[in-house]
Amino acid sequence: MDYRPLFDALTAGQDGRRIVFFNSLTEPAIFGCDLRRFPTTRRTNWHYDCAIALATGALKVDRMSGG
């Protein structure tokens, strides 16, 4: 299932920067987003690892500069 149209619809009106983590060979086509590959060899449910890394501080996101 393609979640990109729903994500775009739900976040299009946000004033802040939208950061999208992905784990595919090609970057998703989402207009106006900062795309970041999440480094993992896990192919299924990789987004759980990404969420845990964000929540625990293992994955740092500089909200102001894009780093």
Q: What angle do CA 12, 16, 19 make, to 5 degrees?
A: 80
At 9-55, the pLDDT tens digits run 888 888 888 888 999 888 888 778 889 999 888 888 999 999 999 99
Written as six digits, the tokens of 34 are 């900062």
**Contact predicate 18/32, CB 8 Å:** yes
- Domain range summary for the chain, segments of one domain joined by +: 4-56
Query: For residue 65, is pLDDT > 60?
Result: no
pLDDT (0 to 100) of residue 64: 52
pLDDT (0 to 100) of residue 7: 84
Single pTM value for the model? 0.73
